Structure 1
Amino acid sequence: HAIAIDKSNQAWAWGRNEGLVLGDNDGAKVIPTPKVIATDILMAALGKSHTVFLKTDGSLHALGQSKVGQCGWRGNVKSSGVLKACITLDTKKSGINPTFRKITCGEDFSVALSDEGIIYTTGSSEYGQTANGETGEHFLTANKIGFTNSYGFAAQTVFHENDPTDDNPSDRERRTIVISNPVRIQDIAAGKHHALALEASSSNGAGTRIFSWGCGNYGVLGHNRQKDEYYPRHVSSLQRGMTFTKVAAGSNCSLALTNQGHVYYWGNHRSNSEAVMKPRIVDALANNQHIVTNMAAGPSSIVCSTDLGNTVVWGNGPYGELGINGKKSSSKPAFVESLSGHVVSDLACGQGSVLYVIKDDKKLPKADLDGIEAALK
């Protein structure tokens, strides 16, 4: 399923509607053509069975299934086909009622970013996705395990970094410590079971740090090990002083974009290739002087667009989602010839699909859209 937001802040939805992820719609299991399902929307984020909307007033609302709290509702509310407000925990205790500016969803968890640069999480904690330092694993019955999931968006302000006093040469074994100074965030992204946060830039020119947490399979967290992280941990292999402007996540991979338009990659988006355990620059783009402006990743493919109207893809595309003359895979970045010369203002990778918003296009039908989002889980 997919959602596009137009310039009038209407949310247009289409695709599979299992679990009411696109609303009640008279019980329809599929919405074959775009249909307005919400208004006053700034952006939307899609999980496997839930959708979270950021409204123009900075509040969060959701649709779909919330069996483990991924919609940010109270625990007794498990599903809704009608847009329902999410709750933020501890607002009375903290005296803060946050206004949000970004939302992203994993398969069964959600991460929101407030105007103050604070991240809020809700949903499954099985792999540490809620970033609160624990999974709360416990036995429900003799042979069934449960987790302490979050039913409502809770602020997460504890960040970790490698312990500088630990001289262990192996990244895989190094201890971490809590970062003492407050960390403010400018961008977030969620994969299937992991998430990324990009530090806000400062006036001292110190660069911007990237943090990751959740499931560590395939090196998707960038810490050179396949271990889950329960707190946001600094990706230390990225050189200090570098400035990043965006992060993106696929099901099992991560991307970061520098202020020079270079893309760093880690994880594994192709089942038949070796995992990249820590960030590596995408040489095919950097060495050819491509300045990347937008990027996205799905279950098995990656897409990048440049300032000069070049779009490149690589990975697996069994349903034609790569758009490279019917080829079902490409191990290296390949040009999407049908988009050559078209500047892409936004893009999204979903399950078996890639969506583009074209800027000032003269060859393809114009879409008066601000943003677009697809379900990749």
Structure 2
Amino acid sequence: MPARAAAAAAEGEEKAAEAGGRELLYCGTVRFDIMGRKVKGGVQGRGNLVSPTRLRPLVGVDIRLVASGCAACHCVALSSDGRCFSWGRNEKGQLGHGDTLLRNLPTVVSKLSKYNIIAAGVGRNHTVVVTDEGKSFAFGDNRHGQLGTGSLRSGTKVLPVPCLVTKATNAVCGAEFTVWLSSVEGSSILTAGLPQYGQLGHGSDNEYNANASSVRLTYDPQPHPRAIAALSGKTVVKVACGTNHTVAVDSSGFVYSWGFGGYGRLGHNEQKDEWQPRLVEIFQKNNMLSPSDIISAGSASSACTAGGRGQLYVWGKLKNWGDECMYPKPVRDLSGWNIRCMASGDMHHIIGAEDSCISWGLSEYGELGYGPTQKYIYLKC
């Protein structure tokens, strides 16, 4: 790094530290071509970041939230002053910059500059954000109606467009669907997008035969955000999405899951798909979630803290060999830790616990952050 750039970076780090700011550190792939997807424009990174690394455009920026997805190859970061940064793969316009060019480094989404962005969700090829005024905007692939605009026209939106959700408080994305939380009474959770496994929670997968002369099946897209009737009268306060499943918590601390049931990721001790929210039994009595507890969903797994002591529970496919966890089990190696936050990827997990950052799982692209020699690490359940 040139001396001038190094000095600027150091100055930015000192300012962030003095202001009590939260810096973003990144590890994992920056070579989106090796992920099996073509990219357009930009110069590919030199390799994977196998240790936590500062991204130059965000040095000195106070970051309040980072969003990515277990099916995504792009990221969104929100600063404390309401700016929205995005970077990564962009062939469907999922970065919101008005084009389909790759961005290797975080870039401000200029069309959102007049808004204070407080929440964001990232799907396989789409992004949804929420403002402090309750407005929601989306950009990227809209083939299945996952942008929630009420229309399937112009399947790709390279600039932010408004979603048909009022008083939004949060947005979370699966691969091709979106879940919004809203402060509207009786409609605290709404979904739109691909209903293939019942992940929208409306009691159907909307499957039909595409041609009377064949058995080719397809799924009716759902472009209109729609409240989940099974949760009517309940206030959903937390939600997390895997590739094709959803986990949610209501204000009473009860946990619900629905969508694709493979590998036990729904926590119901069976692999059946659920087309509408179903209570996870273990969290109905002594282990109900408190307001400070967290939930997370990976590609084929789910997790939460519960029981008033911050005990972490996990279920689903947790490693690429051996048996899956068909129902929530406590992670013994993390008993006694005060877990503050958690995120799950394809086959790895990361938590913030007390003043430590802990990661485990498969590290195919350096996503665990332990350097070039650590390929995987697993915890005991």
Q: TM-score, normalised by structure 1?
A: 0.75
Gaps of at least 5 residues in structure 1 are 89-97, 160-180, 202-207, 334-377
Distance 1:313 1:80 in 2: 35
Q: Are 2:342 and 1:291 equivalent residues in the alignment? A: no
SS of the residue corresponding to residue 284 of structure 1 reads helix
Of 130, 135, 150, 1:54 maps to: 130
**Quick check: 2:100–2:158 contact (8 Å CA) kept in 1?**
no
Of 211, 225, 236, 2:256 maps to: 211
| Equivalent residue, structure 2, for 1:154 | 226
Gaps of at least 5 residues in structure 2 are 1-73
- Counterparts of 1:110-149 in structure 2, within 5 Å, are 110-115=178-183, 116=185, 118-141=188-211, 142-149=214-221
Q: Deviations over 1:125-174 (max 9, x none)?
A: 10001100011211012132122321121111314xxxxxxxxxxxxxxx
Q: Give the direction of change, closer, same or farther, for the CA distance of 1:78–1:282 in structure 2 (3 Å limit).
A: same
Q: Are 2:92 and 1:19 equivalent residues in the alignment? A: yes
Q: Deviations over 1:165-202 (max 9, x none)?
A: xxxxxxxxxxxxxxxx832211000000000110113x
| Equivalent residue, structure 2, for 1:243 | 288
**Quick check: 1:121–1:153 contact (8 Å CA) kept in 2?**
yes
Measured on the aligned residues, the alpha-carbon RMSD in Å equals 1.6
**Quick check: 1:157–1:183 contact (8 Å CA) kept in 2?**
no
Which letter does structure 2 place at the counterpart of 1:101? Answer: T
| Equivalent residue, structure 2, for 1:4 | 77
- Counterparts of 1:69-80 in structure 2, within 5 Å, are 69-73=145-149, 74-80=151-157
Of 165, 170, 188, 1:102 maps to: 170
- Counterparts of 1:193-272 in structure 2, within 5 Å, are 193-201=244-252, 208-244=253-289, 245-258=293-306, 259-272=308-321
Distance 2:274 2:362 in 1: 28
**Quick check: 2:93–2:99 contact (8 Å CA) kept in 1?**
no
Q: Deviations over 1:247-279 (max 9, x none)?
A: 110111101112322111001132213110000
SS of the residue corresponding to residue 18 of structure 1 reads coil
Q: Deviations over 1:185-220 (max 9, x none)?
A: 11000000000110113xxxxxx1100000000100
Which letter does structure 2 place at the counterpart of 1:251? Answer: S
**Quick check: 2:91–2:100 contact (8 Å CA) kept in 1?**
no
Q: Give the direction of change, closer, same or farther, for the CA distance of 1:182–1:271 in structure 2 (3 Å limit).
A: same
Task: Choose between structure 1 and 2: higher helix proportion.
Answer: 2
Q: Which runs of 4+ in 1 moved over 3 A?
A: 24-27
**Quick check: 1:251–1:269 contact (8 Å CA) kept in 2?**
no
Of 368, 372, 376, 1:322 maps to: 368
> Paired residues, what number?
293
SS of the residue corresponding to residue 281 of structure 2 reads coil
How far residue 290 of structure 1 moved from its aligned partner, in angstroms, is 1.0
| Equivalent residue, structure 1, for 2:143 | 67
Distance 2:170 2:238 in 1: 8
Distance 1:229 1:314 in 2: 28
**Quick check: 2:146–2:223 contact (8 Å CA) kept in 1?**
yes
| Equivalent residue, structure 1, for 2:9 | none
Which letter does structure 2 place at the counterpart of 1:321? Answer: E
| Equivalent residue, structure 2, for 1:188 | 239
How far residue 239 of structure 1 moved from its aligned partner, in angstroms, is 4.7
Which letter does structure 2 place at the counterpart of 1:255? Answer: A
Q: TM-score, normalised by structure 2?
A: 0.74
Distance 1:239 1:10 in 2: 39
How far residue 100 of structure 1 moved from its aligned partner, in angstroms, is 1.1
